[in-house]
Amino acid sequence: MKLKVHTQILIAIVMGVVVGVLLGEKTVHIKIVGDMFIRLLKAIIIPLIMASMVAGIVSLGDVRKLGRIGLKTFLYYAATTTLAVTVGLVLVNVMRPGVGVEIAEKTLDLSDREVPSVVSIIRDIIPANLFAAMAQDKVLSVIFFSLLLGVAISTVGEKGRPLATLFEAFNAVMMKITDWIMRLAPYGVFALMAHTIGTMGLAVIRPLLTYMATVTMGLAIHACVTLPILLTVFGKYSPVKFAKDVFSAVATAFSTASSAATLPITMDCLQENTGVSNKVTSFVLPLGATVNMDGTALYEAVAAMFIAQAYGIDLGIGHQLLIVLTATLASVGAAAIPGAGLVTMVIVLRAVNLPLEGIGMILAVDRILDMLRTAVNVWGDACGAVVVANLEGEQLNK
Ligand code: ASP
């Protein structure tokens, strides 16, 4: 009997945890399998985004449709991220996980990690050099250039036809490669899980349990209540069926802690299982992986409040509104790679004058929360694709 990929991945996660607990540090020998899996995914991200975006735009026929899809996507992203942050803030005010926590001595050296400013995030969308942007995995810049290319090819008409055909072919080939990589996903996921559990140890978790519970509960409410409601109302799609459809993507997000690395799998799941067109997935998903991070925004808000509570700093409603705004921006600015949210949290802490050293306290459990928030980030993007597709009147396999 051949198991479905998502069943295989589920088994891989469970086996990874068991092996991680049993072998501990020895799992470092398995790590190479996980590293190779992530490298494969990373290898195709840039060409996949470019091929699928250009092919998607060209297939729109009328480029004005792009504006419509763009507006709906933007509204969905803005609404869901704000809802996520709000849930996080309410919970952290109710559960007060930071009150009474002893402030750790541990300090964090952020000097080697660049914290982007809001201005630079916006400016750098335009690549000064396309090839440099591709080489440095600057996803937003590649999206920008692909949009430009797609719109230009459509506008040129007959003369642009050979290029349109070229990108359509390129896209089909990239999707085929993604398909092959997906078959390797169970092995990659197993190795990544085993290594994470094996090296982290469970002892670091204890002092931060309430904080972790607050973040986890917030993420669960967003993923299991807020987004399913939106999916049902605006996407007219069953959340249970959809959870099965995109399970492989969410599980890969969980084990890799990278929305970008998961992107090829997210695109594959949506196109194969839900019937959302390439027009929509090629626009909503790459953009979503980079800028729409509901889980990260929620986490940043909770973490900032946790730090404030631990230092005995009382933040009023004005400051908390500032947290909503900056946590949203910080999640937009966070790269879709492991640990990025921890770095952009500096933006939130600075805005409300909290001590940056506070980040040191939550460092120990960041990886596990990173896995959870990345899974929610990808789930949010995927739901967005269905909502936009439904609002565009597409026929989906419900
Ligand atoms: N790892 C997250 C992602 O790729 C970003 C973060 O650190 O919050 O979506």
Q: Is 289 close to ligand 1, i.e. is its CB under 6 Å away?
A: no
Which two structure tokens, joined as six digits, stand for 73? 């996507």
- Number of structural domains found in the chain: 1
203 pLDDT more than 80: no
Residue of the nearest CA to atom 6 in ligand 1? 341
Question: Hey, which of 250, 258, 348 would you mutate to test ligand 1's pocket, going by the most ligand atoms within 8 Å of its Cβ?
Answer: 258
Inside any domain, residue 124: yes
Q: Is 258 close to ligand 1, i.e. is its CB under 6 Å away?
A: yes
Element (H, E) at 240: helix 239-245
Catalogue the E-assigned strands of the chain: none
- State the distance from the centre of ligand 1 to the C-alpha of 64, rounded, in angstroms: 32
127 pLDDT more than 90: yes
- State the distance from the centre of ligand 1 to the C-alpha of 142, rounded, in angstroms: 19
135 pLDDT more than 90: yes
- Nearest atom in ligand 1 to the alpha carbon of residue 262 is 4
* pTM, entire model: 0.85
Question: Hey, which of 255, 265, 300, 373 would you mutate to test ligand 1's pocket, going by the most ligand atoms within 8 Å of its Cβ?
Answer: 373
Task: Name the average pLDDT for the chain.
Answer: 88
The pLDDT tens digits of the residues spanning 49-102 come to 899 889 888 887 777 888 899 999 999 999 999 999 999 999 999 999 888 776
Average pLDDT over residues 16-39: 88
Confidence tier at 28 by pLDDT (50, 70, 90): confident
pLDDT for position 102: 65
- State the distance from the centre of ligand 1 to the C-alpha of 62, rounded, in angstroms: 34
Question: Please, what sign has the CA dihedral across residues 254, 300, 377, 259?
Answer: negative
Inside any domain, residue 397: no
Q: Which has more confidence, 356 or 307?
A: 307
- State the distance from the centre of ligand 1 to the C-alpha of 205, rounded, in angstroms: 20
The pLDDT tens digits of the residues spanning 366-375 come to 888 999 999 9
Q: Is 372 close to ligand 1, i.e. is its CB under 6 Å away?
A: no
Inside any domain, residue 142: yes
The pLDDT tens digits of the residues spanning 272-305 come to 999 999 999 999 999 899 889 999 999 999 999 9
Inside any domain, residue 21: yes
What span, in angstroms and rounded, lies between the C-alpha atoms of 32 and 11? 20
User: What CATH number does residue 283 fall under?
Assistant: 1.10.3860.10
The angle at the Cα of 71, spanning 239 to 323, to the nearest 5 degrees, equals 75
- Nearest atom in ligand 1 to the alpha carbon of residue 261 is 4
Most confident of 155-159, 253-257, 363-367: 253-257
- State the distance from the centre of ligand 1 to the C-alpha of 391, rounded, in angstroms: 28
The pLDDT tens digits of the residues spanning 173-194 come to 988 898 888 888 899 889 988 8
Inside any domain, residue 220: yes
Rounded alpha-carbon distances, angstroms, from residue 128 to 48, 123, 132, 133, 286: 21, 10, 8, 8, 20
Rounded alpha-carbon distances, angstroms, from residue 16 to 181, 187, 190, 376: 19, 10, 5, 21
Inside any domain, residue 77: yes
Residue of the nearest CA to atom 1 in ligand 1? 338
199 pLDDT more than 70: yes
- State the distance from the centre of ligand 1 to the C-alpha of 122, rounded, in angstroms: 19
67-71-77-80 Cα dihedral, nearest 10 degrees: -150
Average pLDDT over residues 32-41: 89
| 78 neighbors 334 (Cβ within 8 angstroms) | no
Q: pLDDT over 90 for what percent of the chain?
A: 48
Axis-axis angle for helices 139-156, 278-291 (nearest 10): 150
Q: Is 262 close to ligand 1, i.e. is its CB under 6 Å away?
A: no
Q: Is 367 close to ligand 1, i.e. is its CB under 6 Å away?
A: no
Which two structure tokens, joined as six digits, stand for 246? 């995109």
What span, in angstroms and rounded, lies between the C-alpha atoms of 231 and 161? 37
269 pLDDT more than 90: yes
- Nearest atom in ligand 1 to the alpha carbon of residue 331 is 8
Inside any domain, residue 398: no
pLDDT for position 106: 46
Q: Is 8 close to ligand 1, i.e. is its CB under 6 Å away?
A: no
Q: Is 292 close to ligand 1, i.e. is its CB under 6 Å away?
A: no
| 141 neighbors 45 (Cβ within 8 angstroms) | no
- State the distance from the centre of ligand 1 to the C-alpha of 249, rounded, in angstroms: 14
- State the distance from the centre of ligand 1 to the C-alpha of 162, rounded, in angstroms: 38
The angle at the Cα of 228, spanning 226 to 231, to the nearest 5 degrees, equals 110
207 pLDDT more than 80: no
- State the distance from the centre of ligand 1 to the C-alpha of 336, rounded, in angstroms: 5
Inside any domain, residue 108: yes
Which structural domain, as residue segments, surrounds residue 113? 5-391
- State the distance from the centre of ligand 1 to the C-alpha of 299, rounded, in angstroms: 10
pLDDT for position 350: 85
- Nearest atom in ligand 1 to the alpha carbon of residue 338 is 1
Q: Which has more confidence, 176 or 120?
A: 176
